[in-house]
Structure formats: structure tokens, C-alpha cells
Amino acid sequence: MALRVLRKLWNEKPELVGSSFMGVLGVVLIAETCRRYVKENKHNRRYRETYTVIRHDDPKVATLRKDYLGDM
């Protein structure tokens, strides 16, 4: 039933179906990019305007060392 409606809509207004599909695809891609950004800890930038003090036993230190010093 839904496939028949989509086919009919595609034949009558292809620009509406195409732009709706591209809009939904854009929202999905933005959501996935934001999820990866947070998951991979990309918000630890090298150059900042404000600084944060981190204790030496904090788990973030290993990530920061890897980002700044490479694979030493």
C-alpha cells in the first residue's frame, strides 16, 4: 500500500519526493557525524581560547598525549 502511494507521488510530484529524500538523508548524515564527533572525542582541540586543568590520573590524559605527541 505504501509503495503504491510513493510510486504515485513520485509520478505526480518527483521534485517533492526527491527533495524530501535528500532532506531526510541530510538529517541522518548530520546526526551520524555528531555521534562520531562525540564518540571519538574530537572536542579536544590543540588550540583553545580557554584552558582546563586536568589531573595526571585522569583518563583524558592518555587521549591528549596521543593527540599532541603522536604515537610515542
Residue ranges of the domains in the chain? 2-69
- The whole-angstrom separation of Cα 31 and Cα 59 is 26
Residue type, 25: L
What pLDDT, on the 0 to 100 scale, is given for residue 46?
A: 64
| Amino acid symbol at 50 | T
Q: What is the pTM of this model?
A: 0.56
Report the alpha-carbon distance of residue 12 to residue 18 in Å, rounded.
12
* Of 29 and 64, the one with more pLDDT: 29
> Residue 11 and residue 31: Cα distance in Å, rounded?
30
Is residue 26's pLDDT more than 80? Answer: yes
